[in-house]
Structure 1
Amino acid sequence: MGFGCNAAGIVGCRIIDSPRERLMAICTNNFVPCNGRFPTMIAIITMFFVGASLPFMQSMISTLLLMGVILLGVFTTFKVSSLLNKTILKGVPSTFILELPPYRKPQIVKTLVHSIFDRTLFVLGRAMAVAAPAGLLIWLMANITIGDATLLTHCAGLLDPFAKLCGLDGYILLAFILGFPANEIVIPILIMSYLASGSMVDYDNIMQLKTLLVDHGWTWITAICTLLFTLLHWPCATTLLTIKKETQSWRWTLIAFALPTLIGLGLCMLVNLAATLIF
């Protein structure tokens, strides 16, 4: 379920009987890329790793590269689960018994109503509660000027030294931070920052977007590190609120936030250092 929405995947963990294994599944759900991260990953792969190939090969190469990124997320899920199983979530693994439920006549209307009110509206309500104030914050940062630059530019400058260590830049890292309410707005925020416009915009032509990124210092190393950080970074606000609701614990919510963030930053640093030393 996490491939569609990580918040829905968290709610889906209710079917796991073992509290220990339920926590393990909740803490590692974010390593599976959701629909909000797929557009960013597909755009980066298309712009920087597929464009030079033959036209009839582009679709296959982009599919294989995207599959490789997804498999990296699944591999990370297994490794982090194993680490949790040996450390803070030690315990005896439970046996899995699949019991066939008794056959009943389907209650389609009741199922639809239950799904809409107990699942869909809950997730949408959480998203709106976070998205509205976040949108106001982004607009203020893009339009309030201090000296000769916007507040957005000043914040990006403060983040730039650390972001460079991770193979990114200050604007990329700030776009991920401001994209905390929803992963879909990371690229529009980044474009807005580079163009110094006062509102979020999007590009119809992906090659124009590539030109904009290259003009602002993007290399293939930047593309790889951004791709990795898109896969491995903190959960969105809706997912974190769902984790808090499901676990009733700020401790596990912070752990679920810290695990992908630290792994993502560490992996980007290693890739950037290795690429810089070799090439």
Structure 2
Amino acid sequence: MCMGFGCNAAGIVGCRIIDSPRERLIAMITNSLVPCNGRFPTLVSLITMFFVGVAASPWNSFLSTLILTGVILLGIILTFLVSRVLSSTILKGIPSSFTLELPPYRCPQIGKVLVRSVFDRTLFVLGRAVSVAAPAGLIIWLMANITIGDATLLTHCSDFLDPFARLFGLDGVILLAFILGFPANEIVVPIMIMTYLASGSLTDMSNLGELKNLLVENGWTWLTAVCTMLFCLMHWPCSTTCLTIRKESQSTKWTLVSFLVPTCLGLAICFIVATTARLFGLA
């Protein structure tokens, strides 16, 4: 779980230390409920824009940290709850004890450590990322630059998804951004900006005030921000994580389960939050 805060794919690889195959699968399925470095910028930006304020204040950093900590704790709590449900249903079994045996102490071989770290960890993760990111980047560029009628493919797709996304407190652009952001969570917000601005390339805004104005002009409210944060916390793993799950579990079925569990949970919670807010006239 802790390794997942850096990268969920690294967290999946770290599950190798779990001897029980059943408990290893539970850890892999629930690992994506822990926000990785790719999701932290989105969470921090939304918290700053909609719940803390973009103006400088001595209390802003403290309040932002407090809200972000709450979001992280929510992910951890959901990880434990989902693990409990899985261990009582499709992955039922006898809990095993965890014993960590320390290996014999030896003098570290710096060269060997560096080589193993580069080839077994860094190159593996980067290779999985590039194998999906390159074709995905081409698809995003084509969708942003091919025009049908008076709108791009991105606009047509977001308009098609919009009625469905509204049920969960989102809009078509947000949902499409998460779908196209499957290769890497870092590009979700740039895809939103690109679609809202109808530009032909990925765009980023360093000024959070300008970004908030753009989002509000396109119908964002506090409810949209909350549901986007919840869905950012709970949605399908990125492509690198999915490929890593497939390699570690040697099973397409469990990779699909790892994809569906956080996604269905995120959609369900967003639907409950959005429906409750609308019923009480809060949005």
TM-score grouping bracket, smaller chain normalisation: over 0.9
Counterpart amino acid of residue 235 in structure 2: H
Q: Per-residue deviation at 1:236?
A: 0.3
Q: Per-residue deviation at 1:54?
A: 7.6
> Which residue does the alignment assign to 1:57?
59
Residue 170 of structure 2, aligned match among 148, 168, 180: 168
Residue 213 of structure 1, aligned match among 190, 215, 230: 215
> Which residue does the alignment assign to 1:152?
154
User: In structure 2, how many angstroms separate the alpha carbons of the residues matched to 1:155 and 1:52?
Assistant: 32
Q: Per-residue deviation at 1:223?
A: 0.3
User: In structure 2, how many angstroms separate the alpha carbons of the residues matched to 1:100 and 1:11?
Assistant: 19
Q: Is the 8 A contact 2:161 2:172 kept in 1?
A: yes
User: In structure 2, how many angstroms separate the alpha carbons of the residues matched to 1:117 and 1:8?
Assistant: 13
Residue 250 of structure 1, aligned match among 249, 252, 259: 252
User: In structure 1, how many angstroms separate the alpha carbons of the residues matched to 2:202 and 2:256?
Assistant: 30
SS of the residue 1:230 aligns to: helix
Q: Deviations over 1:38-86 (max 9, x none)?
A: 0000000000000188811100000000000000000010000000000
Q: How many residues align?
A: 279
Counterpart amino acid of residue 77 in structure 1: T
Q: Per-residue deviation at 1:100?
A: 2.7
Gap change, CA 1:141 and 1:52, over 3 Å in 2:
closer
User: In structure 1, how many angstroms separate the alpha carbons of the residues matched to 2:54 and 2:177?
Assistant: 28
User: In structure 2, how many angstroms separate the alpha carbons of the residues matched to 1:28 and 1:61?
Assistant: 28
User: In structure 1, how many angstroms separate the alpha carbons of the residues matched to 2:274 and 2:80?
Assistant: 24
Counterpart amino acid of residue 256 in structure 1: S
User: In structure 2, how many angstroms separate the alpha carbons of the residues matched to 1:246 and 1:168?
Assistant: 33
* Aligned alpha-carbon RMSD (Å): 1.0
> Which residue does the alignment assign to 1:8?
10
> Which residue does the alignment assign to 2:24?
22
User: In structure 1, how many angstroms separate the alpha carbons of the residues matched to 2:82 and 2:22?
Assistant: 14
Q: Which runs of 5+ in 2 are unaligned?
A: none
Counterpart amino acid of residue 221 in structure 1: L
> Which residue does the alignment assign to 1:73?
75
Residue 197 of structure 1, aligned match among 185, 199, 203: 199
Kindly, what percent of the aligned residue pairs are identical? 70
Counterpart amino acid of residue 97 in structure 2: T
User: In structure 2, how many angstroms separate the alpha carbons of the residues matched to 1:89 and 1:111?
Assistant: 36
> Which residue does the alignment assign to 2:88?
86
Q: For 1:92-241, list aligned pairs within 5 A.
A: 92-241=94-243
Residue 259 of structure 1, aligned match among 254, 258, 261: 261
Q: Deviations over 1:173-203 (max 9, x none)?
A: 0000000000000000000000000001111
SS of the residue 2:58 aligns to: helix
Q: Give me the TM-score of the superposition, normalised by structure 2.
A: 0.97
User: In structure 1, how many angstroms separate the alpha carbons of the residues matched to 2:113 and 2:17?
Assistant: 17
Gap change, CA 1:266 and 1:104, over 3 Å in 2:
same
